Amino acid sequence: MSENTGSIGKRTVASGAVIFPIFTKSVSWASQIYQAEDAPLFKRGNSINIAFAGSATIMWVVQKYYYRRLNRKNGCAYATLNEEAKAREDREAEKKGNRSLTFRFTT
């Protein structure tokens, strides 16, 4: 996620948004998902975790194809620019971050 955010400020916020919930919620999730009355097989807890993993996989695939499409779209838009506009886009790339036509999302 942090590779696909252009500026330092966005990268910091994005990393915090990913890391903070993982550490703070994992303990409460475990106590709510894996309950004592479901022992020893924990079918409900395992089913919930499989659903979470499946949802995460689906979101990853959607994001991967979205970023590929966006890279292709930005590449085509950059290719249609004249030399002066390309030079201006290259100069402003750092300021624009991931909104720049030259920024490439990792897939």
DSSP codes of every residue in 5-67: --SHHHHHHHHHHHHHHHHHHHHHHHHHHS-GGGTTT-HHHHHHHHHHHHHHHHHHHHHHHHH
Nearest to 104 by CA among 76, 72, 71: 71
pTM above 0.85, yes or no: no
Residues 22-66: tens digit of each pLDDT: 666 666 677 788 888 999 999 999 999 899 899 989 999 999 999
As a whole number of Å, the end-to-end CA separation of the chain is 10
10 pLDDT exceeds 80?
no
Domain layout of the chain by residue ranges: 2-99
67, 107 contact by CB (below 8 A) = yes
